[in-house]
């Protein structure tokens, strides 16, 4: 059957492509695939041949057709003439089918236009990044932090050893000395013995609280979804090109999550700082907040960290040590609750013993807090210098002006992101789960005021000493000093780098809820974010 003597159409039930002779137009038949009853559409006599689609990207995304999209196209076509009878109704259906097909073509063209190809990405590069020499401040910070990160765990172990020695010495010598002659004489001796034993009990409680984080599982990091090169060829093409331009090793794994951030790490296993696994994590909100050129700059920043081999491994150890001390100082669990209950609910004498134990725990945590703050202050100096060095890669790749625009946009979107999360929490209290958290951030971004931005900058300036990142203004000033033009220039939305971006956002949002709620949240439990914003 030649194409000229046949009509080609899709089954409306299973979408299988079918052919029928021209004489079958308007007649009913049965689909060979799903066996459903179908109507063979009529070929409009005056419909001009469609123009060929322009050459496009490696993969055409799936389309979710809506009645609104079809209606917008129907409104642009010629009005449908009134018809009567069964034949007239069939003709009307045929005209609607043609209009719907036209809407699919237009929507397809729009999505195609917003997607990038690997060839476009390669053509956007005009050179490589000029590497900068490691600064003296960076080397000095590295040496100081290495020494301190060795001293802090040693100090922690010495504190535990001191507590054990004091406990044993007091039990062996102190208690007999204070209560030896009185325990034989009535109940008064018993009270004296309990009073003498109270410091030993308090020291034992303190020792338990100092070592209990060893046996308590730490909180899992936010779950991320791993991307594959097969599913996201365009994004991986950009990653490869940026790595080559920065002369940086390529990541062994690429993940996405729902944070407004990107990170380079050595994995999350216990001794991953000794291995060669490089993990790049990209927050999906970045694709909404930034354009393609800005996102490439952020990736260059992270790959700048990949070049800091010793720095990354030191940072992994530093974060582990700092996290350990933070757990010792701040983590509260059922043991803290039991100690408070024992202190308030038991009889007066025993309650005083537990109160002394609580006092000793506070003293120990105060000493550990000093350890933590010293380590955090020194490691923050190293991390700020690492951020400056990584900024060099971003500035050289996209230019000083784009770097400044990215810094400004990140300030605005960080406020919008926080507001969006608060709104999602309010909906959650009403059992409403938004299906795309990135849309919430995008919704609130235009509402951020200058006063809020000024307040954020002031907060950055106040906390600069203990911050792991330089202030936005410090980074922008460095970019101005570099006066770089950039070697990568690509215009367009960053979402054009990701295939099926909306579906990916919904899947990652669903995983975000699963972790936050510790419940089996499924996609069907989510509601469209646009509807929730309207209602």
Are residues 287 and 497 in contact, defined by beta-carbon separation less than 8 angstroms? yes
Q: How far is CA 195 from the centre of its chain?
A: 53
Which tokens hold the place of 109?
């063209």
Q: Is the pLDDT of residue 179 over 80?
A: no
| Mean pLDDT computed over 173-202 | 71
Q: 263: which residues sit within 8 A by CB, 6+ positions away?
A: 280, 281, 302
> For residue 291, what is the DSSP state?
B
| Cα 480 from Cα 488, distance rounded (Å) | 18
The strand pairing partners of 18, in sequence order, are: 9
pLDDT at position 152 is 82
**pLDDT top residue among 496 and 20:** 496
Are residues 397 and 242 in contact, defined by beta-carbon separation less than 8 angstroms? yes
18-22, 75-79, 177-181, 326-330: least confident range: 75-79
pLDDT at position 29 is 78
Q: 317: which residues sit within 8 A by CB, 6+ positions away?
A: 149, 273
Positive/negative CA dihedral, 482, 488, 489, 491: negative
| Cα 97 from Cα 42, distance rounded (Å) | 10
Report the predicted TM-score, pTM, of the whole model to 2 decimal places: 0.66
Reported as a pLDDT band with limits 50, 70 and 90, residue 47 is very low
Are residues 403 and 479 in contact, defined by beta-carbon separation less than 8 angstroms? yes
Q: Is the pLDDT of residue 53 over 50?
A: no
The strand pairing partners of 434, in sequence order, are: 527
Q: What are phi and psi of 56, to 5 degrees?
A: -130, -175
Phi-psi region of 256 (alpha: psi -120 to 50; beta: other; left: phi over 0): beta
Positive/negative CA dihedral, 269, 272, 276, 277: positive
Are residues 273 and 316 in contact, defined by beta-carbon separation less than 8 angstroms? yes
Q: How far is CA 428 from the centre of its chain?
A: 20
pLDDT digit string, tens, across residues 241-296: 999 998 888 998 999 999 999 988 775 555 444 556 788 999 999 999 999 999 99
CA distances (Å), 115 to each of 56, 255, 284, 295, 345, in order?
9, 20, 16, 15, 66
Give me the DSSP letters along 249-268: PPPSEEEEESSS-EEEES-S
Phi-psi region of 191 (alpha: psi -120 to 50; beta: other; left: phi over 0): alpha
pLDDT digit string, tens, across residues 495-534: 999 998 999 999 999 888 888 887 788 888 899 999 999 8
34-43, 60-69, 217-226, 418-427: least confident range: 60-69
pLDDT at position 305 is 80
pLDDT digit string, tens, across residues 121-164: 999 999 888 876 666 666 666 777 777 777 888 888 898 899 89
Q: Is the pLDDT of residue 463 over 70?
A: yes
pLDDT digit string, tens, across residues 320-376: 777 778 888 887 778 888 888 888 887 777 778 888 888 888 998 898 888 888 877
Phi-psi region of 162 (alpha: psi -120 to 50; beta: other; left: phi over 0): alpha
pLDDT digit string, tens, across residues 416-438: 999 999 999 999 888 889 999 99
Instruction: Report the run of H or E that residue 38 belongs to, with start and end.
Output: strand 37-39
> For residue 118, what is the DSSP state?
H
| Cα 172 from Cα 203, distance rounded (Å) | 14
What does the angle CA 291 – CA 394 – CA 399 come to, to the nearest 5 degrees? 75
The strand pairing partners of 39, in sequence order, are: 28
pLDDT digit string, tens, across residues 71-98: 343 344 344 344 444 455 455 545 555 5
The strand pairing partners of 9, in sequence order, are: 18
pLDDT at position 256 is 94
83-87, 197-201, 217-221: least confident range: 83-87
Provide the edge-to-edge strand list for the sheet that holds 253-257: 225-227, 253-257, 279-283, 262-265
Taking alpha carbons only, the member of 256, 263, 300 closest to residue 403 is 300
Angle between helices 292-306 and 233-246 (to 10 degrees): 50
The residues spanned by each domain of the chain are 126-534
Are residues 264 and 305 in contact, defined by beta-carbon separation less than 8 angstroms? yes
Give the 3-state secondary structure of residue 482.
helix
pLDDT at position 121 is 92
| Cα 173 from Cα 2, distance rounded (Å) | 106
Pairing of strands 28-30, 279-283: unpaired
Phi-psi region of 483 (alpha: psi -120 to 50; beta: other; left: phi over 0): left
Reported as a pLDDT band with limits 50, 70 and 90, residue 386 is confident
| Mean pLDDT computed over 43-62 | 42
Taking alpha carbons only, the member of 233, 306, 246 closest to residue 496 is 233
pLDDT digit string, tens, across residues 471-499: 899 999 999 999 999 999 999 999 999 99
């Amino acid at each position: 059957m030649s194409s000229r003597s046949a009509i080609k159409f899709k089954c409306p039930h299973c979408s299988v492509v079918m052919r029928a002779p021209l004489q079958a137009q308007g007649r009913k038949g049965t689909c060979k695939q799903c066996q459903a009853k179908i109507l063979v559409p009529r070929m409009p006599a005056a419909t001009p041949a469609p123009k060929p689609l322009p050459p496009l990207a490696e993969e055409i995304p799936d389309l979710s057709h809506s009645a609104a999209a079809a209606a917008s196209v129907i409104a642009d076509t010629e009005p449908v003439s009134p018809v009567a009878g069964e034949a007239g109704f069939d003709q009307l259906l045929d005209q609607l089918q043609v209009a719907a097909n036209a809407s699919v073509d237009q929507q397809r063209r729009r999505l195609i236009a917003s997607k990038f190809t690997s060839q476009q990405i390669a053509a956007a590069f005009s050179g490589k990044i000029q590497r900068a020499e490691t600064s003296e401040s960076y080397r000095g910070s590295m040496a100081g932090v290495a020494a301190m990160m060795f001293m802090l765990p040693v100090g922690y172990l010495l504190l535990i050893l001191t507590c054990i020695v004091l406990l044993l010495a007091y039990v062996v010598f102190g208690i007999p000395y204070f209560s030896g002659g009185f325990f034989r004489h009535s109940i008064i001796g018993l009270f004296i013995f309990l009073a003498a034993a109270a410091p030993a009990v308090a020291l034992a409680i303190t020792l338990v609280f100092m070592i209990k984080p060893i046996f308590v599982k730490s909180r899992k990091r936010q779950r991320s979804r791993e991307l594959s090169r097969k599913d996201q060829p365009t994004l991986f093409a950009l990653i490869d090109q940026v790595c080559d331009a920065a002369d940086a090793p390529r990541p062994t794994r690429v993940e996405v999550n729902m944070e407004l951030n990107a990170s380079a790490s050595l994995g999350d296993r216990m001794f991953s700082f000794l291995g060669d696994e490089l993990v790049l994590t990209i927050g999906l909100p970045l694709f909404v907040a930034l354009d393609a050129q800005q996102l490439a700059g952020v990736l260059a920043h992270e790959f700048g960290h990949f070049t800091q081999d010793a720095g990354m491994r030191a940072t992994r150890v530093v974060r582990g040590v700092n996290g350990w001390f933070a757990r010792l100082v701040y983590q509260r669990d059922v043991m803290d609750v039991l100690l408070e209950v024992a202190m308030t609910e038991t009889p007066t004498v025993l309650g005083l013993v537990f109160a002394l134990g609580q006092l000793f725990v506070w003293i120990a945590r105060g000493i550990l807090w000093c350890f933590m703050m010293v380590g955090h202050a020194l490691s923050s100096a190293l991390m700020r210098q690492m951020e400056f060095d990584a900024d060099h890669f971003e500035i050289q790749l996209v230019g000083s002006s784009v770097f400044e625009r990215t810094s400004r946009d990140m300030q605005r979107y960080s406020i919008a992101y926080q507001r969006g999360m608060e709104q999602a929490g309010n909906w959650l209290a009403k059992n409403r789960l938004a299906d795309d958290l990135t849309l919430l951030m995008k919704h609130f971004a235009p509402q951020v005021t200058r006063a809020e931005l000024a307040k954020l900058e002031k907060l950055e300036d106040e906390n600069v000493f203990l911050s792991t990142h330089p202030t936005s203004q410090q980074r922008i000033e460095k970019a101005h000093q570099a006066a770089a033009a950039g070697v990568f220039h690509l215009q367009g939305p960053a979402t054009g780098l990701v295939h099926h971006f909306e579906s990916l956002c919904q899947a990652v949002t669903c995983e975000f809820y699963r972790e936050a709620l510790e419940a089996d949240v499924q996609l069907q439990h989510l509601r469209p974010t646009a509807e929730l914003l309207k209602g």
